[in-house]
Amino acid sequence: MAHLVFRPYDILADRDFLHAAHRETSAITFGAPFDDAKIDSELARAFEVREGLFLDGALVGLCDLDRRSTENLGDCGYVQFFYIAPAYRKAGLGGRLILHAADWCRRKGLCRLLLCTGKTNVAAQRCYEKYGFIRLPALDRGGEWAYVREVDGAENT
C-alpha cells in the first residue's frame, strides 16, 4: 500500500523537481517556461506553508500557501503554487493537496481558500471545480482565472 506524507520540501535537494514544476506551470499559464533565474527567484519567496506531497518517499506534488486579504473575500488562504507531477495526475492526489490546504485554512480560522490558474489550464480548472472551487471573475488577473472554495468548519479571525 502506498504511503502518502505531507511535509516541507527541500529547495536544494528537490531542485530538479521544483524547476520542472515551475517550467511546466509557467509554460501553460504564460506561454513560455520560466528560466532558472526566475524559478530561483520564485523559490526564494517566503510562504507560511511550503509543503510537498511525498508518495513512498518520492516528491510527487507541491502546495505553497499563504494568507491573503481581498476586498471581496476578506482574509483567506491563498494557494501560491500547486502542482502534481504528470505521472501522478488523475489519481486523486490533487484532491489530497486541496484537502490538505483546506485543513490548514481551518486551523488558521480562514473560511475560504483562493487560487489562480492559467485560463488555458483546463485540466487544473477541472480538478479545482471537482473539489468545490468556483470561478470568481472579479479577481481574475492577466492570463489567470481566480477560483475560491469555502472551508467548512472555519471562522474568520
**Per-residue pLDDT tens digits for 4-45:** 999 999 999 999 999 999 999 999 888 888 899 999 999 999
Within a 13 Å sphere around the CA of 60, how many CA atoms are in the beta-carbon half? 22
Residues 6+ apart with CB under 8 A from 35: none
Does pLDDT of 154 surpass 60? no
User: Residue 53's domain is classified under what CATH number?
Assistant: 3.40.630.30
Q: Nearest-CA neighbor of 145 among 28, 33, 64, 62?
A: 28
In a domain, 93, yes or no: yes
pTM of the model: 0.88
Residue 59 grid coordinates: 516528491
The total number of structural domains that make up the chain: 1
Alpha carbons 102 and 18: distance in angstroms, whole number: 22
* Domain of 101, in residue numbers: 4-150
Please check whether residue 156 lies inside any domain of the structure: no
Residue 129: HSE in the Cβ half-sphere, 13 Å Cα cutoff:
9
